[in-house]
Structure 1
Amino acid sequence: MRFASFFDVAFRAFRDPSALSKLVVIIAGASSGGLVAYADAKLDRDLASSQESTKKKVLILGTGWAGTSFIRNLDSSLYDVQVISPRNYFAFTPLLPSVTCGTVEARSIVEPIRNITRKKRGEIKFWEAECFKIDPANKRVHCRYTTAANSGRMDEFLVNYDCLVVAVGARSNTFNIPGVEENCHFLKEVEDAQKIRRSVMDCFERASLPNLDEAERKKNLHFVVVGGGPTGVEFAAELHDFVAEDLSKLYPSLYGLVKIEVIEAGEHILTTFDKRIGKFAEEKFQRDGIDLKTGFRVINVSDKEITMRSKTTGEFSEPYGMVVWSTGIGTRPLIADFMKQIGQGNRRVLATDEWLRVCGCDGIYAVGDCASISQRKIMEDIAEIFRIADIDNSGTLTVKEIQDVLEDICLRYPQVELYLKSKRMSSILELLKDSKGDAKKEAIEVDIEEFRKALTDVDSQVKTLPATAQVAAQQGTYLARCFNKMKDAEEHPEGPLRIREGGRHQFRPFRYKHLGQFAPLGGEQAAAQLPGDWISIGHSSQWLWYSVYASKQVSWRTRFLVISDWTRRFIFGRDSSCI
């Protein structure tokens, strides 16, 4: 061994007292080159292990859109990353309606989470288990793994964390309506889509039995979809195409008895889209023979009948063969219990700030459908904003002083831009001039009362983000980038407005960028609402939908499988087997 190597080991040993004893062994065995070489290598491993243990532990709960997006964009070499989820895969949920009717196979839209983690720098530990309790006081979570092969025996364990990212999503909202949980199908998971597919085929097989009368056959072939949102509408359209294009050939005597019904509590379907899209969808459903009931509320679902009520017809019941419930999202028990612990028990989802930090917690972040950003209102900070902007302490703001804080105000309070857009104003200066009644005056000065008066209605534009895959994915990506920029364990995204008090924000608040949305309506037609209020409806939009959804797959494997499924469907039709 060269003297340079020896003194290098000695230097590292004195820097690390725990390695001093190893240096003694090295000196004692200096006459043996093999022993010294072994000790040197062992010391290198110990020092590397010591450095590894100082990494901050980041625990991610969930492998949905938000959790997977966070994992894919996180620099895992900076942290000790652990992932816990009851499913060991990511599912491309926008294609679940296609899975229900065999247009796309279930395995084509799932990517094993270990395929994703093994491509990352640094080791990422994954455990397929369910988190049933979060303990923020001790910074740990309680988990359990249910062994199905061992009579449902549950193995429980604890996992500690420094930072916790909650991305467990949400469950279907039943609104506590009797019978929904027991008698309806939901469409949130891959397993749900597979159950619906088997149930559709079971309805047709039962209806084809020789001992049934026509009334019984009609009952079995009555498919009810509760909810006129994107998922419910897309499933109804997929089911109609499946029946018209494929099952009509296999069950020609039953085709005329099939009834597809969509029940919506509101006056129109697809209310999150432009009104033109909703109107087109309603007209198309009418042409296709899909029965659309708007203004009806379901009040009970038994194993044989569904009961609903409307203002015009009152309460009535009708038999059904299958019911699919798609009426929004509800809170998971884990999140409900956690919210009670941290004083948010009166909310539907976790409240976070604009940096996705759970309000009232240290080191806990929440992304996706289980959380909602509690947007800070500008009127709550109006006095502080005025104080920071008033540099000369004159009690009034000049044009220059206002211009100095414009960027930070719009960054911290996105509702300002929305309000100016609604008023067709390009700047907050126009708003202040308008409030003074002299829009032509260039030199403007306002006191705090005039400043407050001009911004009074701005907070009316505070919007809650929709619970969509697009929002969840963007939140996961944003949070991962924040983590990648953190220099040490104590650094966090800046919360308060820091104008004149330390510079700009270290991390900009999360801002959702809407990239558009699609609504497949069946018959190779779709509706697209893209940024800039651009609306496209028809066959060309369907091909755009194909290209966008194929490009958004998380791997080339799933991209190839989905495209091959679409090609197979065009050539051979949909698979009607019950597996």
Structure 2
Amino acid sequence: MRSFSFYERFSRAFHDHPSLSRILVISTISGGGLIAYSEANASYGTNGVAPVETGTRKKKVLLLGTGWAGTSFLKNLNNASYEVQVISPRNYFAFTPLLPSVTCGTVEARSIVEPIRNIGRKKSIDMSYLEAECFKIDPQSKKVYCRSKQGLDSNGKKEFSVDYDYLVIATGAQSNTFNIPGVEENCHFLKEVEDAQGIRRNVIDSFEKANIPELSDEERKRILHFVVVGGGPTGVEFAAELHDFVNEDLVKLYPRVKGLARITLLEAADHILTMFDKRITEFAEEKFKRDGIDVKLGSMVTKVNDKEISAKTKGGEVSSIPYGMIVWSTGIGTRPVIREFMKQIGQGNRRALATDEWLRVEGCDNIYALGDCATINQRKVMEDVSAIFKKADKDNSGTLTVKEFQGVIDDICVRYPQVELYLKSKRMRDIADLLKQAQADDGSKKPIELNIEEFKSALSQVDSEVKFLPATAQVAAQQGSYLATCFNRMDECENNPQGPIRIRGEGRHRFRPFRYRHLGQFAPLGGEQTAAQLPGDWVSIGQTSQWLWYSVYASKQVSWRTRVLVVSDWMRRFIFGRDSSRI
């Protein structure tokens, strides 16, 4: 249900008084900036870390990648006992959620990037950077092998090796083509800043080509047919941005081709934005229909050539669609260096690096992986159920009471987050309700006591709540911050090797496992309307959510420099429209 009288009154006020919306967006973004300022101060503080004694060798932390996970780790690392070496093929961090805005000139590319050295020089740790690409990881010798992006390193070689004490892999992922013929050669991807810049040039080129006098209308229509493959957040946001760019800016500059441009969105599933609330999905599909964006659901691409894209429906019908440009946004795949590393450590049959709940690569104690290149292999309750029972049964009676179980309940909910999720899904208040459900109702008033088999039965369905985390910037940033906190406290916890979680005998780590906190998500739908889904099943759709989107995205910029640049770009677009130059 999306009828909110409060929002309707706001939207009506914005429509009647355009200047009010511009004033509000400035004040909203400024408020978001104050939030970000407090976060930045917290991130850049030293946390009272004592300086390293003279003569003590610093442990070398090698960080691969400057994306969300790697940059978050670097920003939050404050332990001066480490020497950090950053290796990445790009010497900057990019705010990727705004890439669709870069494709249409709403935001400039330079406004969303921050040089990684700017971030490193604000730290109290030793940090250096090399612009290179890692092509091999050797865990036995604790070395990584890299290839310089400049062709030659200081020794006159194209390739070199770097050793480490700790390795943090945050290389991200690449676009997944599913090995469909022609995709790699004919489609644009939207993963990097260079991708967004290429799409922007291609859009302008398409209008310039279609504006040539001697072309037929049929050829103009083909050139101006933009196809987006993938109905996830990136594909939907790009389609919405492109629609606004074409209808608000380009049609005024190219009157010869007015009304000929089309946008088609192909999605293999039954709906777009399937990870959002059903209300948002329905609204997005209805809005795209009103805007003239052709959404073809249940369409799976089978082949792409230089002029046509072939798609098959679930009914088996195959159709060929002429196009001028295709943007491919269907998910992520594993990078070659990660695939090779996975084969080395016996994970060759997985889609991403498997880590434990502390982000350590399984089987490699000094290697951590986070972000899109990794997935957490959540420990199952049933694998440790006997150890849990033994730990709780303090009197060794062979049966477990609710009182005895209360002694280990906190550790279990931290160590196995699926327990808490299961209780919520079943609307149970606590673990006692779970045990009561498992015990037969014989009408007696005896205390609940379960033997090992009854206890296993009570927990048998808990592991069904284990879920993989989404490959989003939010997850990667939280993982980077968590791992930095672990490294910051590594020294003070050396004398507590088992940590707070002691269910599994000898223990596995000195810190609590990583827990993801979902803070909500946005889906910009064009026309100054955004769908917001926040914790607590709170859904908002409309212009008010757009101002919230402005505020959050401004506050989450990595520096004040990029924050000012992004806000300036938004204001420029409000006043002068989007930039339609080919640069």
Instruction: Verify the 8 A CA contact 1:146 1:154 in the aligned structure 2.
Output: no
Aligned counterparts of 1:512 and 1:543: Cα–Cα separation in 2: 26
Instruction: Verify the 8 A CA contact 1:140 1:158 in the aligned structure 2.
Output: yes
Aligned counterparts of 1:500 and 1:164: Cα–Cα separation in 2: 26
Alignment of 1:340 onto 2:339: no
Aligned counterparts of 2:488 and 2:495: Cα–Cα separation in 1: 11
Q: Calculate the aligned-residue CA RMSD, in Å.
A: 2.1
**Corresponding residue for residue 171 of structure 1:** 174
Alignment of 1:299 onto 2:302: yes
Alignment of 1:204 onto 2:227: no
Instruction: Verify the 8 A CA contact 2:75 2:119 in the aligned structure 1.
Output: yes
Compared CA separation, residues 492 and 192, structure 1 to 2 (3 A) = farther
Alignment of 1:138 onto 2:141: yes
Normalised to the residue count of structure 1, the TM-score between the two structures is 0.88
Instruction: Verify the 8 A CA contact 2:412 2:503 in the aligned structure 1.
Output: no
Query: What amino acid is the match of 2:568?
Result: S
Instruction: Verify the 8 A CA contact 1:225 1:236 in the aligned structure 2.
Output: yes
Kindly state the Cα deviation for residue 316 of structure 1 after the two structures are TM-superposed.
1.4
SS at match of 2:379: coil
SS at match of 2:213: coil
Kindly state the Cα deviation for residue 451 of structure 1 after the two structures are TM-superposed.
0.4
**Corresponding residue for residue 481 of structure 1:** 485
Kindly state the Cα deviation for residue 373 of structure 1 after the two structures are TM-superposed.
0.2
Alignment of 1:389 onto 2:392: yes
Instruction: Verify the 8 A CA contact 1:518 1:529 in the aligned structure 2.
Output: yes
Q: Could you report, residue by residue, the CA deviation over 1:225-274 in whole angstroms, capped at 9, with x for unpaired residues?
A: 00000000000000000001000100122121111000000000000100
Q: Could you report, residue by residue, the CA deviation over 1:480-500 in whole angstroms, capped at 9, with x for unpaired residues?
A: 000011118978975894159
Instruction: Verify the 8 A CA contact 1:430 1:439 in the aligned structure 2.
Output: no
Compared CA separation, residues 384 and 241, structure 1 to 2 (3 A) = same
Q: Could you report, residue by residue, the CA deviation over 1:446-474 in whole angstroms, capped at 9, with x for unpaired residues?
A: 11011000111110000000000000000
Alignment of 1:97 onto 2:100: yes
Query: What amino acid is the match of 2:566?
Result: V
SS at match of 1:483: helix
Aligned counterparts of 2:281 and 2:132: Cα–Cα separation in 1: 41
Compared CA separation, residues 316 and 168, structure 1 to 2 (3 A) = same
Kindly state the Cα deviation for residue 362 of structure 1 after the two structures are TM-superposed.
2.4
**Corresponding residue for residue 32 of structure 1:** none
Alignment of 1:532 onto 2:539: no
Compared CA separation, residues 572 and 290, structure 1 to 2 (3 A) = same
**Corresponding residue for residue 510 of structure 2:** 506
**Corresponding residue for residue 38 of structure 2:** none
The counterpart of 1:185, out of the listed 188, 201, 214, is 188
Map 1:78-93 onto structure 2 (within 5 A): 78-93=81-96
Map 1:300-379 onto structure 2 (within 5 A): 300-312=303-315, 314-379=317-382
Compared CA separation, residues 311 and 293, structure 1 to 2 (3 A) = same
Instruction: Verify the 8 A CA contact 2:411 2:500 in the aligned structure 1.
Output: no
**Corresponding residue for residue 10 of structure 1:** none
Compared CA separation, residues 338 and 499, structure 1 to 2 (3 A) = closer
Map 1:1-12 onto structure 2 (within 5 A): none
Kindly state the Cα deviation for residue 400 of structure 1 after the two structures are TM-superposed.
1.6
SS at match of 1:81: strand
**Corresponding residue for residue 435 of structure 1:** 438
Kindly state the Cα deviation for residue 312 of structure 1 after the two structures are TM-superposed.
3.4
Aligned counterparts of 2:232 and 2:504: Cα–Cα separation in 1: 47
SS at match of 1:212: coil
Compared CA separation, residues 402 and 130, structure 1 to 2 (3 A) = same
Q: Could you report, residue by residue, the CA deviation over 1:121-180 in whole angstroms, capped at 9, with x for unpaired residues?
A: 032011111111000000010011132699xx9621110001000000000000000010
Query: What amino acid is the match of 1:511?
Result: R
Kindly state the Cα deviation for residue 51 of structure 1 after the two structures are TM-superposed.
3.9
Compared CA separation, residues 494 and 96, structure 1 to 2 (3 A) = farther
SS at match of 1:248: helix
SS at match of 2:122: coil
SS at match of 1:410: helix
**Corresponding residue for residue 573 of structure 2:** 569
Kindly state the Cα deviation for residue 289 of structure 1 after the two structures are TM-superposed.
0.2
Q: Which runs of 5+ in 2 are unaligned?
A: 1-50
Kindly state the Cα deviation for residue 506 of structure 1 after the two structures are TM-superposed.
3.3
The counterpart of 2:423, out of the listed 415, 420, 423, is 420
Query: What amino acid is the match of 1:363?
Result: N
Aligned counterparts of 1:491 and 1:236: Cα–Cα separation in 2: 54
Kindly state the Cα deviation for residue 567 of structure 1 after the two structures are TM-superposed.
0.1
Aligned counterparts of 1:209 and 1:491: Cα–Cα separation in 2: 74
SS at match of 2:350: coil
Compared CA separation, residues 303 and 496, structure 1 to 2 (3 A) = farther
Q: Which runs of 5+ in 1 are unaligned?
A: 1-47
Map 1:49-60 onto structure 2 (within 5 A): 51=54, 54-60=57-63
Instruction: Verify the 8 A CA contact 1:300 1:307 in the aligned structure 2.
Output: yes
Aligned counterparts of 2:411 and 2:67: Cα–Cα separation in 1: 33
Map 1:99-114 onto structure 2 (within 5 A): 99-114=102-117
Q: Could you report, residue by residue, the CA deviation over 1:10-55 in whole angstroms, capped at 9, with x for unpaired residues?
A: xxxxxxxxxxxxxxxxxxxxxxxxxxxxxxxxxxxxxx99945511
Alignment of 1:559 onto 2:563: yes
**Corresponding residue for residue 460 of structure 2:** 456
SS at match of 1:181: helix
Kindly state the Cα deviation for residue 434 of structure 1 after the two structures are TM-superposed.
0.9
Q: Could you report, residue by residue, the CA deviation over 1:253-307 in whole angstroms, capped at 9, with x for unpaired residues?
A: 2121111000000000000100100000000000000000000000001111101
Instruction: Verify the 8 A CA contact 1:165 1:364 in the aligned structure 2.
Output: yes
Alignment of 1:221 onto 2:224: yes
Aligned counterparts of 1:416 and 1:387: Cα–Cα separation in 2: 18
Q: Could you report, residue by residue, the CA deviation over 1:505-556 in whole angstroms, capped at 9, with x for unpaired residues?
A: 7311000000000000000000000000000000000010000000000110
SS at match of 1:77: coil
* The 10-residue stretch of structure 1 (524-533 or 309-318) with the greater mean CA deviation from structure 2: 309-318
Alignment of 1:231 onto 2:234: yes
Aligned counterparts of 1:52 and 1:345: Cα–Cα separation in 2: 42
Normalised to the residue count of structure 2, the TM-score between the two structures is 0.88
Instruction: Verify the 8 A CA contact 1:243 1:255 in the aligned structure 2.
Output: no
Query: What amino acid is the match of 1:127?
Result: L
Q: Could you report, residue by residue, the CA deviation over 1:46-65 in whole angstroms, capped at 9, with x for unpaired residues?
A: xx999455111111000000
Query: What amino acid is the match of 1:373?
Result: I
Instruction: Verify the 8 A CA contact 1:63 1:168 in the aligned structure 2.
Output: yes
**Corresponding residue for residue 259 of structure 1:** 262
Aligned counterparts of 1:263 and 1:422: Cα–Cα separation in 2: 34
SS at match of 2:281: helix
Alignment of 1:273 onto 2:287: no
Identity %, equivalent residues: 71
Alignment of 1:156 onto 2:171: no
Aligned counterparts of 2:460 and 2:287: Cα–Cα separation in 1: 44
SS at match of 1:379: helix
